[in-house]
């Protein structure tokens, strides 16, 4: 793997929720071969060019920690029950402690996400960047949020509504990634 440039974005895996529709915390989910989804998401971010990888954990956090690959930073989300917004805020707050110009966000329930999709967005990393992956013009993940937008995004997210309304209102760039993978997230087993 090539060296990661000093201006590379930070990666953020959102994995704190209880996974009610899924039947349990997705941070504990595994592929049929036994690979933890959370490890796949962290690897896609790292191999896609992220300088650091943060993983938000809440529900079943103690059981999820051993599933994480080395070199990631756990971000505990004490109010994870309030929805994805809590994870986004906690992740952005943790990213702000570093020097990355942007954060690439990938939810844990995208185990088929590719590092090439992450790289396509990571190449756009700058303090003022805003972009999201699309799949045949349908919005999806990952998303890229430049540091200049972190405070506004953290203030805008509510409950189970993440950054999408902010991205749309701010005119974020749509980046087609349908040639790289399906973009499908898994809400059910």
How far apart are the C-alpha atoms of 134 and 150, rounded to whole Å?
21
Residue 156 neighbours by CB under 8 Å, 6+ apart: 163, 165, 166
Give phi and psi for 143, each to the nearest 5.
-120, 155
Note whether 102 and 32 are within 8 A (CB).
no
User: Is the pTM of the predicted complex or chain greater than 0.85?
Assistant: yes
- DSSP state, residue 36: B
How far apart are the C-alpha atoms of 9 and 32, rounded to whole Å?
31
pLDDT value of position 6: 65
- Radius of gyration of the CA atoms of the chain, in A: 15
Q: In what order do the strands lie in the sheet with 130-135?
A: 72-76, 53-57, 10-15, 102-107, 138-146, 130-135, 173-176
Nearest-CA neighbor of 129 among 102, 106, 93?
102
pLDDT value of position 51: 92
pLDDT value of position 20: 83
pLDDT tens, N- to C-terminus, the chain (189 residues): 555 656 899 999 999 999 888 889 999 999 999 999 999 999 999 999 999 999 999 999 999 999 999 999 999 999 999 999 999 999 999 999 999 999 999 999 999 999 999 999 999 999 999 999 999 999 999 999 999 999 999 999 999 999 999 999 999 999 999 999 999 888 765
Neighbours of 128 (CB within 10 A): 10
């Amino acid at each position: 793997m090539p060296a990661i440039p000093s201006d590379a974005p930070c990666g953020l895996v959102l994995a704190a929720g209880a996974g009610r529709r899924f039947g349990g915390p997705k941070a504990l989910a595994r592929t049929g071969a036994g690979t933890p989804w959370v490890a796949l998401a962290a690897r896609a971010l790292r191999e896609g060019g992220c300088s650091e990888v943060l993983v938000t954990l809440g529900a079943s956090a103690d059981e999820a920690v051993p599933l994480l690959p080395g070199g990631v930073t756990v971000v505990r989300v004490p109010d994870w029950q309030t929805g994805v917004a809590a994870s986004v805020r906690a992740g952005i707050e943790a990213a702000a402690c570093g020097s990355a110009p942007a954060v690439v966000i990938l939810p844990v329930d995208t185990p088929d996400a590719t590092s090439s999709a992450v790289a396509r967005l990571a190449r756009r990393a700058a303090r003022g960047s805003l972009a999201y992956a699309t799949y045949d013009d349908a919005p999806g993940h990952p998303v890229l949020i430049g540091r200049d937008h972190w405070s506004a995004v953290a203030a805008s997210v509510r409950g189970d509504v993440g950054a999408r309304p902010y991205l749309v209102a701010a005119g974020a760039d749509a980046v087609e990634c349908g040639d790289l993978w399906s973009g499908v997230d898994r809400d059910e087993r």
